[in-house]
Amino acid sequence: MSTDMRGVVLSGIELAREIREELTRDVRTLKEKLRNFVPGLAIVQLPNTTTEIELINKISKLNDDPNVHGIIVQMPLDSVNKINSHLITDLVSPAKDVDGSGVPIVGAQAVVLGRSKIVGTPVAELLKWHHATVTVCHSKTKNLPDVVRQADILVVAIGQPELVKDNWIKPGAVVIDCGINPIS
């Protein structure tokens, strides 16, 4: 057994530069594709006396407003009144949910690709705990494309880069890729 254990130095400055460059390219591409599109951003600050019904009404209006393209509910909710944060995040339209925190789990068909003790098994248990119907698959699962096509929620943690093909994914499905393998 080798005792030579070397760490990898991660340069946050270099990583940030790479991310900025990638985002700049992505924004440029979007501007070219959607020349007349201007994303709508609304920042709504409510007093800490806001009631749950007032917040529900505000989010409903934002959901219905075609000029608002994304909604983030900043947590924790700062109110002297009791507000059910799960109700509020679930109220945000999935089409406008920037955080992805309003993904409906109850009754959803979830497929977890991978059964590791680090990701696959804990994620499957969490999804079951939140009342999803969960199918756990692995690299030897038969008819894997057909199983994946049934998923409302797909968690990919199988350790094989590019295993899942785009035509396997049901339209509207939520995909969480836990991949750590570099691809070219």
**CATH classification of the domain holding 122:** 3.40.50.720
What are the Cα distances from residue 6, in Å, to 1, 3, 9, 90, 126?
14, 9, 9, 45, 34
**CATH classification of the domain holding 43:** 3.40.50.10860
> Of 43, 95, 104, which is closest to residue 74 (Cα–Cα)?
43
**Does 117 lie in the same domain as 74?**
no
pLDDT value, residue 170: 92
Which contacts of 33-37 are long-range, i.e. CB under 8 A and separated by 24 or more positions? none
> Of 71, 160, 89, 73, which is closest to residue 120 (Cα–Cα)?
160
pLDDT value, residue 96: 85
Q: Residue 35: what residue type?
A: R
CA distance 133 to 151: 10
Domain count, the chain: 2
**Does 111 lie in the same domain as 166?**
yes
pLDDT value, residue 109: 98
pLDDT value, residue 113: 96
Domain interval for residue 76: 13-91
Q: What average pLDDT values come out for the chain (184 residues) when binned by 10 residues?
A: 54 80 88 82 82 95 91 84 88 82 86 93 94 94 96 92 90 85 67
pLDDT value, residue 10: 62
